[in-house]
Structure 1
Amino acid sequence: MTFWALIILTALVTAVFLGFSLLRGRDTREPAAAYDLRVYREQLAGVDKDLARGVIGEADAERVRTEISRRILAADAQMQAQTAQAGPPVWVTITGIALVGAFLVGGAAWMYNLMGAAGLPDQPLSLRLEQAEILRAERPNQAEAEAAATPAPLPELDESYASLLNQLRETVAARPDDLQGHILLAQHEANAGNFPAAYKAQQRVIELSGDQVPADAYSHLAEMMILSARGYVSPEAEEALRQALQRDPRHGPALYYLGQMMVQVGRPDIGYRIWTDALRNAPAGAPWADAILAQLDELAFRAGVFNAPEIPAPAISGPSQDDIDAAAALPPEERQEMIRGMVNQLSDRLATEGGAPEDWARLIAALGVLGEGQRAIDIKNEAMEVFAGNAEALEIIDAAAYQAGIAQ
């Protein structure tokens, strides 16, 4: 209520000043003849001064006095003939003042009702920062967030893939210390949309990896936690992100989710800085960079800055090298069928849409695991043609060919 009274009072004071200026203009307005009279009287006084200094003679002075006196009489007669001041009637001026006042008061109230937040208390920066810290410290944990989130519907799996996934679950349950089995289980539970099971398997992967845990392992753990909570970054997910960044300060996916967490706790300014720093170091084709760019304009507005950097549009990535390496640890029959499905999808996409050198390299390496040497050679030759003249891309393709055992 105090704020409403303040803006109305401000608008009224502004209207009063404008009205005073309009009325004062009417009181001080004078006809043009009055100005002429002052000029003629000054000219008449000037004639006497010039005569006293000897600038003009007596005859010339008398002639000039006569002419000026004639003009003074004419101007005075003109003033006497005017019976009213120029300008609009008084009622028009008063009506204009009333309209201006109504416009200022009504317009201010309408704009605030449209754009403001009536009843919201003052929020100085220090208070908002303090509230953000409290929100961050007291936000729900992972279990609470999962319980409150609406479960996402699981995708319908192909019958053969679902059967393989069940076999993998049974195998891993029978071999709780099998690192490669847990890696595969975490990946394929995520592929199946079962994110809680995926991050629990990933936690076991980290436990079994000992001290040599890469940044990607913690980043994958955090991502599965966040997806389980429908986009919410819990304290446990934040800790996983910190662990990833401790191992790789430029880890793009971890920076993306950390920036998202800062926005959720009321610190878009920090989130914006994290995202722009991540974009400056983003490699070409980074999929997480596209997610940042899609939200950066809105975040820049909330942070009060408008200098979002430009990076190339990220390319779609295929199965990772970890997918391929982990699949190699399965029994031959399961490994062949599992990899073949991923390989065929990647091959179809590269044939129709193309892709980055890394995607071609993954396909060549996967074909090597499958034992399809001739097909790997054909893909390599095609990639050499696609990236002819690109030395960096050709090095990536050659490395993949060496890994697949088809290097010439």
Structure 2
Amino acid sequence: MVIWIILLLMTAAAVMAVLWPLSRHRALAARQADPNTQFYREQIAEIDRDRERGALLPSEAEAAKVEAGRRLLRATGVADPESFAALGEPALRRRRAASTLALSLIPIIALVLYGAYGSPHLMTHPPQQNEAEAQDTGERLDLMGAVAQIEAHLAKNPEDGRGWEVVAPVYIRMGRIDEAVRAYESAVRYLGPSPERLSNVGETMVLANDGLVSADAQKVFEQAVALDKTSPKARFYLAIAAEQDGQVEKAKRAYGEILASSPEGAPWVGVVRQRLAGLGGEQPAAEQPGDQPRMGAEDIARMVTGLAERLETQGGSADEWARLVRSYAVLGQRDKARAAAERARQALAQDEAGLKIIDATAREMKLTDAGP
């Protein structure tokens, strides 16, 4: 704010420096200092002194003064005092108009030019913030450039499974989940199925499905376990699928088996213990850092909240409403599950098939009884 006040004062000083020569008082002072004007005034004073001494008769003195006055007016270029005043007023008005325009237009023009060609944004953020924003922007541009190069390569070489496997996690980071699913599926198609690739496909399908394990994702995880019965990621999501289907005891056993077969210090142990504790199993221990399955309990809850908000604002299909009801029930929020089922019936009032799906889901999750 201080810098703008200083700039305003500097602009006002510059404008006044330009307008000062137009001042009327200065012009009048210049007239008073004219040598011709001073000479004729002294002549008139001399006539008055001659009359007082008796050297001139009063009539002669008056005639001499009139003649001297006429010479004075001719010397100044004005016919008489009245015309002098008449010439001064329009000039004064013109100077005032010029002053007003200068004081208003010059600052406005300066601000417009500064906004168009200057850098007014440089003082709005601290240098550290500007540097951090520039670094983030640079990283995003680098990432987008790298993705563009990989996509151009894959467009020419669509059977490059390694390229699809490389770009898939980048798509996840950019929030392009559906494209990540297709990329992982292409990697499996061209490189062949493996427990890790299949687990990645299934996990990305869960991300795309608001954190819920669909029937298609469950099949993918089952294929991964068929190739490797010890695959921790596939077994973890199969346990989540059992939990979401209301098979709590099966989910507990699955989580317990994962913990029992996991090596000491395995990075996924912490999140598995948290899921088991949420079902009333053992208490969670300190979570281990490392490459854990992406979907923890908090992630599931956050995605369920996002699904609920989307259905409330935009509506959705019967399957999506059923998924929301089932998710609330699995998370133990049975009151919200009942409220979601009722809201779904209102939204699908004209859809008989959709109402049947909601009623079946409510019965499956045991939401029709009186108690929780």
TM over 0.5: no
TM-score, normalized by length of structure 1? Answer: 0.36
Q: TM-score, normalised by structure 2?
A: 0.39
Larger radius of gyration: 2
